[in-house]
């Protein structure tokens, strides 16, 4: 549903919307995936990708190739496209694009802190960080001994600083506290992003509300399943749920008291949009849940391109491209390990 944005959107956003829709048309097609799945070696994959938009990024890579090299170069392409769009963007689009990277920042912070806790080399950890989530002081994360130091020494000057207000305690950094920190940061980030999109209004608010609500609900389900059988109390679990989404508030109350996967299933089947997701699973099964959620997310992201004059296409494109890179990593690993029977288990991107 369009408001007045249909009259004024193209003044600042028309060029970049055209750019991102052009990028979207460069996503790999079903024929590309079929060709990739027939490959015998990673060099064959490189040859097939040379005819796609990834070609210039892989053409100078020597043999033998490694899966990490393919993923790294494909990610570099995504980063270059993102930086180009960010440089061309005006407010409010530039702020929207920056919000997209905050999730990667949170993942990078958790990766560095967890790695340091287990005495991994900082330089090795930095190489594993996602390039969209890098910031200047990330290398100094290793010096922090508790949440308060982590904030005071490192994160106070980053965009994540406002999200840390609920995490600042004097508790030592251990695996349990770090995982709680990750989910608390993600909760604050999603709520902030949701409020920002609501302020933008129009088609952006409508489409992003649906996408972010789905993300919040998925995280609520994952938190519930992952905390079953741990020392996390029901009240602590409830605090990690985002304060929006289809499950808010009554679904959260029911999820907080679930003790096994079948109880979670019983709660989720009360909500029609999630019935078919859990209908794909056998009772007591949770391994295929992530795949079912990814399938639903991809459908919603593809649908966002059916409307114009909104910023949701930028978020959708970034997520779809990241999913494509995960697909390439899966196919490359299957080829490298000669697991051809599992090579077709990637996530199809619909409508391309």
What is the C-alpha separation between 280 and 236, in angstroms, rounded? Answer: 30
* Residue 1 in this model has a pLDDT that exceeds 60: no
Give the CA radius of gyration of the chain.
Answer: 21
Considering the chain, what percentage of its residues have pLDDT values greater than 70? 95
Tokens of 149: 């130091």
241 three-state secondary structure: coil
> What does the pLDDT look like over 289-332, one tens digit per residue?
888 999 999 999 999 999 999 999 999 999 999 999 999 999 99
Residue 325 has what pLDDT? 97
Tokens of 300: 């919603």
Tokens of 256: 């907080």
> What does the pLDDT look like over 182-192, one tens digit per residue?
999 999 999 99
Tokens of 242: 């985002």
> What does the pLDDT look like over 115-160, one tens digit per residue?
888 888 888 888 999 999 998 888 788 777 777 777 777 778 788 8
Mean pLDDT of the chain: 90
Residue 239 has what pLDDT? 93
Q: pLDDT band for 209, please (50, 70, 90 cuts).
A: very high
Residue 9 has what pLDDT? 87
Query: What residues contact 186, with CB distance under 8 A and at least 6 apart?
Result: 103, 106, 219
**0.85 exceeded by pTM:** yes
Q: pLDDT band for 285, please (50, 70, 90 cuts).
A: low
What is the C-alpha separation between 174 and 113, in angstroms, rounded? Answer: 9
Q: pLDDT band for 6, please (50, 70, 90 cuts).
A: confident
* Residue 27 in this model has a pLDDT that exceeds 80: yes
Q: pLDDT band for 352, please (50, 70, 90 cuts).
A: low
Mean of pLDDT values over 232-244: 93
Residue 316 has what pLDDT? 98
* Sequence-distant contacts of 137-140: CB under 8 A, at least 24 apart: 138/108, 138/109, 138/112
Residue 222 buriedness (CB in 10 A; 0-12 / 13-18 / 19+): middle
Residue 327 has what pLDDT? 96
What is the C-alpha separation between 217 and 198, in angstroms, rounded? Answer: 18
Q: What share of the chain is helix, strand, coil (3-state, %, to 5)?
A: 70, 0, 30
Whole-number Cα distances in Å, 248 to 160, 196, 242: 24, 19, 8
Q: How many CA atoms lie within 13 A of 105 on its CB side?
A: 22
What is the C-alpha separation between 137 and 131, in angstroms, rounded? Answer: 14
Mean of pLDDT values over 20-45: 95
Cβ count within 10 A of residue 98: 13
Cβ count within 10 A of residue 39: 20
* Residue with more model confidence, 159 or 199: 199
> What does the pLDDT look like over 41-97, one tens digit per residue?
999 999 999 999 999 999 999 988 999 999 999 999 999 999 999 999 999 999 999
Residue 351 has what pLDDT? 57
**Structure letter (DSSP) for residue 153:** I
What is the torsional sign of CA 5, 10, 12, 14?
A: positive
* Residue with more model confidence, 25 or 117: 25
Q: Is residue 242 a contact partner of residue 220, using CB atoms and an 8 Å limit?
A: yes
Q: Is residue 57 a contact partner of residue 316, using CB atoms and an 8 Å limit?
A: no
Residue 157 has what pLDDT? 79
Q: pLDDT band for 2, please (50, 70, 90 cuts).
A: low
What's the angle, vertex CA 240, arms to CA 151 and CA 196, rounded to 5?
75
Considering the chain, what percentage of its residues have pLDDT values greater than 90? 65
Q: pLDDT band for 4, please (50, 70, 90 cuts).
A: low
């Amino acid at each position: 549903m369009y408001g007045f944005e249909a009259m004024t959107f193209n003044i600042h956003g028309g060029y970049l919307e055209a750019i991102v829709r052009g990028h979207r048309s460069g996503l790999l097609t079903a024929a590309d995936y079929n060709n990739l799945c027939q490959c015998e070696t990673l060099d064959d994959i490189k040859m097939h990708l040379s005819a796609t938009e990834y070609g210039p990024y892989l053409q100078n890579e020597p043999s033998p190739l490694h899966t990490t090299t393919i993923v790294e170069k494909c990610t570099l392409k995504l980063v270059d496209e993102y930086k180009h769009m960010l440089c061309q963007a005006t407010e409010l689009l530039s702020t929207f694009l920056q919000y997209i990277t905050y999730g990667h920042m949170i993942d990078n912070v958790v990766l560095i802190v967890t790695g340091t806790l287990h005495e991994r080399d900082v330089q090795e950890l930095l190489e594993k960080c996602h390039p969209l989530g890098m910031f200047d002081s990330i290398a100094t994360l290793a010096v922090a001994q508790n949440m308060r130091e982590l904030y005071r020494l490192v994160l106070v000057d980053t965009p994540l600083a406002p999200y840390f207000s609920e995490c600042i305690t004097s508790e030592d950094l251990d695996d349990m506290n770090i995982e709680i920190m990750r989910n608390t940061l993600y909760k604050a980030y999603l709520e902030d992003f949701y409020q920002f999109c609501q302020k933008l209004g129009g088609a952006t608010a409508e489409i992003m509300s649906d996408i972010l609500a789905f993300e919040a609900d998925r995280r609520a389900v994952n938190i519930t399943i992952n905390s079953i059988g741990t020392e996390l109390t029901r009240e602590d679990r409830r605090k990690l749920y985002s304060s929006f989404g289809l499950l808010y508030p009554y679904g959260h109350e029911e999820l907080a008291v679930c003790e096994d996967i079948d109880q979670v299933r019983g709660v989720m089947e009360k909500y029609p949009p999630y019935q078919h997701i859990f209908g794909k699973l056998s009772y007591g099964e949770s391994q295929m849940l992530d795949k079912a959620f990814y399938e639903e997310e991809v459908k919603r992201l593809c649908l966002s391109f059916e409307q114009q004059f909104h910023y949701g296409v930028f978020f959708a494109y970034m997520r779809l491209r990241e999913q494509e890179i995960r697909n390439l990593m899966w196919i490359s690993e299957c080829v490298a390990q000669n697991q051809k029977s599992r090579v077709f288990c990637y996530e199809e991107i619909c409508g391309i």
